[in-house]
């Protein structure tokens, strides 16, 4: 959706270039500058108006059984070119140099994925060499353990303008009880954030836009939040940057790392739309008299910026967000090293051997991978084709989801957070996946031994005739006690 729906009442100091009025619609985030850690300026971080040089890059990997470095696992801690020795053992480094000479390649970056015993190199091709021809030759080289193109991925939200039912908050405020100007967030302690939420008169929440969160209500999430808010569950959101200063996200994002332009450095935040939307659905503070309610407000959530926003050239509005194998591999490796329990990937693209290996390793360590279902134009690829991943389609696409055994969650006209303290509706399987990630965090907090297969069976079994998952019913299937699911009171009265 193009415009900002509602701005928070809290006034923010205008940053350079910001609109003077806190009620003005925010401009889409500017495309990021090329990474200092060397991805060529017109390469992996190309903007919509730049030459698409991505196809001139390949990723190769060789065996590296050298000593693992601090923070290894594919998660760099700064500019590669300033980090002597980070890229692995001397033997693997020498092998990389030999491959570069023999195949006329130029190494742009290298990093070690210690758990996979691999040294990965991002190479630029020379002259008029063809990517497919080069890969065919390299794949026959016994020294090379993996060879693939630098693939591109995109986030899966951003419905067409005028998407059905995409009403603005405030348009129906009389019936919903929502205010067009929520009051400023009240302070809350960390202990309160980690405690199950108790109901108040008339509604379980005092957040003014809760009445517009139809998907939250359809999933019976409030009933499950009476016993779990996701406390201590580590959630990794691999996406664009997040506006962590948003009043509904203040204090909710444990850390943010930037793999697009920061080399994995800790940052205060890069306020981009897609990541902020996903984060709001998972983590927005509850009962703070502000905005909306997140599904797992007690979870420990880290943002890994691996995607960047491109300027929209065909029509005004939020830009498309893109990622590539290079940025995603670093972010996914870092999430593994950080011990993520749940990994949200609201994106899609082609098959990718390196990313699939990393995803499978994360699963082997107990992480639950939640993936957005790809639209038909993209077809199946990463991450939707990773075995064992919880693939999530938007409600309304249930026929395709049923055929593929996918989960279904709300993904149309979903109200969530957007940068600069605002709220808006958006559509896409990205949002459906975020809903499931939040529910999975609640379930894993309530039942820490529930693994991905059990969670998938419970969530599939909870899906209603309309196609959506039911958080409370899934928890009951897992044996979570103390639940009062929607309809229990009516059923008791009927008996």
* CA–CA gap between residue 383 and residue 373 (Å, rounded): 9
Contacts of 317 (CB under 8 A, 6+ apart): 1, 2, 3, 28, 158, 161
- Which of 286, 280, 195, 266 has its CA nearest to residue 237? 280
- Cα–Cα distance for residue pair 56/337, rounded to 1 Å: 30
Alpha helices in 316-394 (DSSP H): 325-337, 353-364
Q: Which of 93, 303, 384, 430 is catalytic?
A: 430
Q: For residue 271, give the 3-state DSSP assignment.
A: coil
* 8 A C-beta contact, residue 240 and residue 308: yes
**What is the distance between the alpha carbons of residues 30 and 38, in angstroms, rounded to a whole number?**
20
Output phi, psi for 137, to 5 deg.
-70, -45
**Eight-state DSSP code of residue 233:** -
From 54, 64, 207, 239, active-site residue: 239
Residues 6+ apart with CB under 8 A from 5: 168, 169, 170, 415, 418, 422, 423, 424, 425
Instruction: Transcribe 53-87 into DSSP letters.
Output: -GGGEEEEEEE--SPPPTTTTT---S-GGG-TTTT
Residue 473 and residue 491: Cα distance in Å, rounded?
Answer: 14
Catalytic residue among 54, 75, 274, 426: 274
Q: Which residues contact 216 (CB under 8 A, 6 or more apart)?
A: 210, 222, 293, 295, 410, 435
Q: Please name the helix (run of DSSP H) or strand (run of DSSP E) that holds residue 222, with its range, or none.
A: helix 221-225
**Alpha-carbon gap, residue 265 to 352, rounded angstroms:** 25
CB 411 within 8 A of CB 429: yes
Closest CA to 237 of 185, 290, 295: 295
Q: How many angstroms from the chain centroid is the CA of residue 193? A: 22
Q: Please indicate whether residue 430 is annotated as part of the active site.
A: yes
Question: Would you call 231 helix, strand, or coil by DSSP?
Answer: coil
Residue 70 annotated in active site: no
Tokens of 304: 């890994």
In angstroms, rounded to a whole number, what is the distance separating the alpha carbons of residues 44 and 39? 6
Residues labelled as active-site residues: 239, 274, 430
């Amino acid at each position: 959706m193009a415009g900002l729906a509602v701005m928070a009442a809290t006034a923010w100091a205008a940053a350079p270039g910001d609109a003077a009025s806190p009620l003005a619609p925010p401009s889409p985030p500017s495309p990021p500058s090329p990474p200092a850690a060397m991805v060529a300026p017109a390469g992996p971080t190309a903007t919509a108006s730049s030459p698409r040089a991505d196809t001139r890059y390949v990723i190769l990997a060789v065996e590296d059984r050298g000593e693992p470095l601090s923070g290894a696992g594919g998660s760099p801690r700064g500019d590669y070119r300033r980090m002597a020795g980070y890229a692995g053992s001397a033997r693997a480094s020498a092998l990389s140099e030999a491959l570069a000479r023999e195949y006329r390649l130029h190494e742009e970056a290298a990093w070690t994925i210690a758990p996979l015993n691999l040294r990965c190199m991002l190479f630029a091709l020379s002259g008029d060499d063809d990517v497919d021809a080069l890969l065919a030759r390299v794949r026959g080289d016994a020294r090379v353990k993996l060879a693939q193109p630098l693939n591109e991925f995109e986030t899966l939200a951003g419905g067409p303008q005028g998407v059905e039912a995409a009403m603005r908050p405030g348009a129906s405020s009389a019936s919903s009880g929502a205010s067009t100007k929520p009051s400023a967030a009240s302070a809350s302690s960390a202990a309160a954030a980690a405690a199950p939420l108790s109901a108040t008169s008339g509604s379980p929440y005092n957040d003014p836009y809760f009445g517009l969160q139809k998907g939250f209500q359809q999933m019976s999430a409030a009933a499950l939040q009476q016993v779990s808010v996701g406390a201590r569950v580590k959630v990794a959101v691999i996406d664009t940057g997040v506006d962590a200063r948003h009043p509904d996200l203040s204090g909710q994002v444990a850390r943010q790392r930037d793999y697009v332009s920061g080399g994995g450095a800790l940052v205060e935040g890069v306020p981009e739309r897609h990541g902020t939307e996903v984060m709001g659905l998972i983590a927005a503070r509850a009962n703070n008299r502000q905005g909306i309610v997140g599904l797992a407000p007690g979870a420990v959530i880290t943002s890994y910026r691996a995607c960047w926003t491109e300027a929209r050239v065909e029509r005004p509005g939020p830009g498309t967000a893109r990622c590539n194998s290079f940025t995603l591999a670093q972010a996914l490796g870092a999430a593994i090293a950080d011990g993520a329990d749940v990994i949200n990937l609201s994106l899609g693209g082609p098959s990718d051997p390196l990313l699939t290996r990393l995803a499978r390793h994360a699963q082997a360590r107990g992480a639950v991978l939640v993936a957005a279902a790809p639209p038909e134009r993209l077809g199946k690829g990463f991450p939707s084709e990773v075995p064992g991943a919880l693939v999530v389609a938007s409600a309304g696409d249930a026929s395709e989801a049923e055929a593929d055994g996918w989960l279904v969650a709300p993904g149309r006209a979903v109200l969530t957070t957007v940068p600069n303290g605002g709220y808006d509706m958006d559509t896409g399987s990205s949002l459906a996946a975020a809903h499931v990630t939040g529910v999975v965090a609640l379930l894993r907090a309530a039942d820490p031994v529930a693994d991905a297969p059990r969670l998938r069976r419970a969530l599939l079994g909870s899906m209603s005739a309309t196609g959506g998952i039911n958080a409370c019913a899934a928890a009951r299937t897992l044996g979570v006690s103390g639940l009062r699911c929607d309809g229990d009171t009516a059923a008791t009265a009927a008996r």
